[in-house]
Amino acid sequence: MSLEKTEGVILRSIPKGETSKILTVYTRDFGKLALIAKGAKGPKSKFGGILEPLSHLAIVFYMKDSREVQLLSQGDLLNFFPGIRQDLEKTWPALAVCDLLNRLMPPRSGVGKEKSRASFGLLLDVLRGIDGADRNLINFWWWFLIKLIKILGYRLELIRCVRCRQAVEGTMAVRVEKGGVICPRCDDEPGRRTVLTAGSLRFLVKLSGLLGPAVSTLNPSKGQVKEIDFFLDQFLKFHIESFQGLKSIKFWREMRDRP
Q: What residues make contact with Zn ion under the rule CB under 5 A? A: 161, 163-164, 183, 186
| In the complex, least distance from residue 180 CB atom to Zn ion, rounded to whole angstroms | 11
Between 21 and 178, CB nearer to Zn ion: 178
| In the complex, least distance from residue 186 CB atom to Zn ion, rounded to whole angstroms | 3
End-to-end CA distance of the chain: 55
Name which of 44, 43, 40, 32 is nearest 14 in CA terms. Answer: 40
What 3-state DSSP class applies to 93? helix
Between 65 and 188, CB nearer to Zn ion: 188
Helices 222-239 and 198-208 sit at what angle, rounded to 10 degrees? 70
| In the complex, least distance from residue 184 CB atom to Zn ion, rounded to whole angstroms | 8
Which DSSP state fits 252?
A: H
Between 16 and 163, CB nearer to Zn ion: 163
Between 37 and 201, CB nearer to Zn ion: 201
| In the complex, least distance from residue 163 CB atom to Zn ion, rounded to whole angstroms | 5
| In the complex, least distance from residue 164 CB atom to Zn ion, rounded to whole angstroms | 3
Q: Are strands 31-37 and 20-27 parallel, antiparallel or unpaired?
A: antiparallel
Residue 154's contacts (CB-CB under 8 Å, 6 or more residues apart) are: 179, 239
Starting from the edge strand earliest in sequence, which strands make up the sheet with 180-182, in order?
A: 180-182, 172-175, 194-196
Between 88 and 164, CB nearer to Zn ion: 164
